[in-house]
Amino acid sequence: MIDLYTAATPNGHKVSIALEELALPYTLKVLDLTRGEQKTPEYLAICPNGRIPAIVDRGADDFAVFESGACLIYLAEKTGQLMPSDAKGRSKVLQWLMFQMGGIGPMMGQANVFYRYFLEKIPAVIDRYQGESKRLFRVLDGQLKDHEYLAGDYSIADIANWAWVRTHRWSGVDVEDLPHLRRWLTAIRARPAVQKGIESPPSKMDLARDGEAKAQEFSQAARSMVEMGQSRNAGV
């Protein structure tokens, strides 16, 4: 049994999707990020960085893994699925996983903060992060032009990138001119395990369903969390 400490974010959904795809039994432990539950001593003993997600493998002497990419690699290697066993195939998957960890996630995350959460709108900063997110989307689109998935067969690299790219509207980045990326987004969204994974837990905001009015309400709650984090960093 796996304990999954998570919240309704792209990084959290990366791991819940993988658990569903691998058909591994898990217990969902949802942390309220607005209340700082990711900063409690109990959780910091599992994840020193105080971020979600993290897993604890109860069947392996309560072995804890933090960082979403590390969780994906651990689960793939534990089961022998969603990642090739040969060196070159494994490397290809890890390259595209690191592409998400080092590029897609950080750039979209910053786009979200400055486009949605900060009261002060700084156009040059918003343009910077939205522009870099779009550039990375073009890289994905180019790879997917001649490949069904990012690194051979469907893998943790697809799961990691998809969990973020599917939220592109929240970042204010359009993908209409990227047909191969859109094909891939639709194909992965149709997978039953993916549909279950993004409901564990369900997202609190869906622009297609909730519209901009709900987006403003959600942004205000997220803005409070960002401000709380800034206060902690400043020692307030």
Q: Which of 96-105, 107-116, 143-152, 207-216 bottoms out in mean pLDDT, i.e. has the lowest?
A: 207-216
Specify the pLDDT at position 204.
Answer: 74
What share of the chain has pLDDT > 90, as a percent?
83
What share of the chain has pLDDT > 70, as a percent?
86
Specify the pLDDT at position 235.
Answer: 36
For CA atoms 214, 34, 168, 193, give the dihedral sign. Answer: negative
6's enclosing H/E stretch is strand 2-6
| Rounded average pLDDT over 139-143 | 98
The more confident residue out of 34 and 235 is 34
| Segment 88-127, tens digit of pLDDT | 999 999 999 999 999 999 999 999 999 998 889 999 999 9
Q: SS3 for 81-130, per residue?
A: CCCCCCHHHHHHHHHHHHHHHHHHHHHHHHHHHHHHHCCCCCHHHHHHHH
What do you get for the CA distance between the two ends of the chain, in Å?
40
Prediction pTM value = 0.90
Rounded CA gap, 41 and 102, in Å? 28
| Segment 51-60, tens digit of pLDDT | 999 999 999 9
Maximum separation of any 2 CA atoms in the chain, in Å:
52
Q: What are the angstrom distances between the C-alpha of 141 and each of 23, 176, 184?
A: 29, 11, 9
Q: Is 109 exposed, middle or buried (0-12, 13-18, 19+ CB in 10 A)?
A: middle
Rounded CA gap, 177 and 186, in Å? 15
Contacts of 195 (CB under 8 A, 6+ apart): 189
